[in-house]
Amino acid sequence: MNNFTYQKVSNPNDALNKISKNNAANFIAGGTNLIDLWKYNLAHPKTLVDINGLNDYKIIKEDEHGGLFLGALATNSDTAYHKLVEERYPLLSKAILAGASAQIRNSASNGGNLLQRTRCYYFYDASSPCNKRNPGSGCPAKNGLNRIHAILGTSEDCIAVFPSDMCIALAALEAVVHVKSPDGEREIEFSNFHRLPGDTPELDNNLKVNELITGISLPSEGFAENYSYLKLRDRNSYAFALVSVATGMVLENNKITKIRIALGGIAHKPWRVVAAEEFLVDKSPTEENFASAANMILKGAKGFGKNDFKIELSKRAIVRNCIMALHPESQRPGAQPSL
């Protein structure tokens, strides 16, 4: 653990200035990931810039396109329990509440959730090689303990998983991430926010250094009638997903007119296969159709020994969750299986 200095900021330009002048400076929001990484000697900030004073980014409000803007510094709890989120985007609410614990969600920010790092055991062990932490040092997970690791989108260099629950719902909702830098502002589609490891696994996402996340916007379609989040894990609560699925669908006369399916716990980013979603359009919401879509989503999946079970588990989880989405009232606390 290294020592660091600490500064609070109350306006975004000040925050950006402090970061761009000092390349060992980090923003700190809830601190629930960064402080943990620092304690494990995995993050070495020289300066922490506390952005909790950026009150404009704490708000949650309807935007001019009929969607909802979630400030980057609103907490995960305040977001999950916000009236408009519960009413219009219950899928997001359920996914957030399936993550971490009540205490952590009370501190964790929306921006920080997007940037949380993998829970790969080797990444977390400073004494072990890890291409994500120390590029070029190797990936012991491929032939090691890889029960929690990826089955899709892996590379020679990295099989780590992005562990967020909230982001799986955001992927299904096709959210947009708003960022600000000294050069201006830009928007990043959710599917382009996180990335696959390739030969640069040290990069989890496409956010640039010097960029501040200001918020996340949700499009008007929230799938409030038919949605479900399913999280499968080694214990029923307060554990990361082995496999999770977010489904949002729109039905008309018992035919699917729109569906989004995103998977968590199985790749370096939230996993969606647009072709499978298109396949389901105009079809009936049956187990057979969902099973066909599940096969399309898992196409090319590859296990590494201890995580082989995830391939079949993911397929079943997709089918189960799409059926659960037909009866959202059956959802159980902690996104456990129902029906």
Partner 1 sequence: MQDKNSSNTTNFSSNSNATKVQLHINKTTLHLHVMPWVSLLDAIRDHGKLTGTKKGCDHGQCGACTVICDGKRILSCLTLAVMKDCSEITTIEGIANGEVLHPLQTAFIEHDAFQCGYCTPGQICSAIAMLEEGKADTRDEVKEQMSGNLCRCGANTNIIDAIMEFKDKRNE
Ligand X SMILES: Cc1cc2nc3c(=O)[nH]c(=O)nc-3n(C[C@H](O)[C@H](O)[C@H](O)COP(=O)(O)OP(=O)(O)OC[C@H]3O[C@@H](n4cnc5c(N)ncnc54)[C@H](O)[C@@H]3O)c2cc1C
| Contact between 250 and ligand X per CB under 6 A | no
CB of 41 to partner 1, least distance (A): 12
The rounded distance, in Å, linking the Cα atoms of 316 and 259 is: 17
Residue 51 φ then ψ, to 5°: -100, 10
Among the residue ranges 97-105, 216-224, 279-287, 327-335, the one whose residues contact ligand X (CB under 6 A): 97-105
On the CB side of 201, CA atoms within 13 Å amount to 27
Comparison of 49 and 280: residue with beta carbon closer to ligand X: 49
Comparison of 105 and 310: residue with beta carbon closer to partner 1: 105
The one of partner 1, ligand X, none whose footprint includes residue 309, by CB under 5 to 8 A per kind, is: none
Q: Which of residues 12-41 bind partner 1 (CB under 8 A)?
A: 28, 30-32, 35-36, 38-40
Comparison of 3 and 143: residue with beta carbon closer to partner 1: 3
The rounded distance, in Å, linking the Cα atoms of 241 and 230 is: 9
The rounded distance, in Å, linking the Cα atoms of 66 and 87 is: 14
* 237: nearest Cα among 98, 111, 330: 98
Helix ranges (DSSP H) in the chain: 12-20, 34-39, 76-80, 83-88, 90-97, 102-107, 110-115, 166-172, 274-280, 287-297, 309-325
End-to-end, the C-alpha distance of the chain in Å comes to: 47
| Contact between 28 and ligand X per CB under 6 A | yes
Return the residue matching tokens 């952590």. Answer: 104
CB of 76 to partner 1, least distance (A): 12
Interface characters, 85-124, with partner 1 (x: CB under 8 A): ---------------xxxxx-xx-----------------
Strands (E), 182-225: 184-189, 212-218
| Contact between 220 and partner 1 per CB under 8 A | no
Among the residue ranges 79-87, 162-170, 222-230, 282-290, the one whose residues contact ligand X (CB under 6 A): 162-170
Angle subtended by helix axes 309-325 and 287-297, to nearest 10: 140
Characterize 89-117 residue by residue with b for buried, 16 or more Cβ atoms within 10 angstroms of its Cβ, and e for exposed. Answer: bbbbbbbbbbbbeeebbebbbbbbbbbbb
Among the residue ranges 103-111, 181-189, 255-263, 329-337, the one whose residues contact ligand X (CB under 6 A): 103-111
The one of ligand X, partner 1, none whose footprint includes residue 168, by CB under 5 to 8 A per kind, is: none
Among the residue ranges 17-25, 44-52, 134-142, 249-257, the one whose residues contact partner 1 (CB under 8 A): 44-52
The one of ligand X, partner 1, none whose footprint includes residue 334, by CB under 5 to 8 A per kind, is: partner 1
| Contact between 109 and ligand X per CB under 6 A | yes
Residues that bind ligand X (CB under 6 A): 26-34, 36, 51, 72, 76, 99-100, 104, 107-109, 111-113, 115-116, 163-166, 212-213, 240
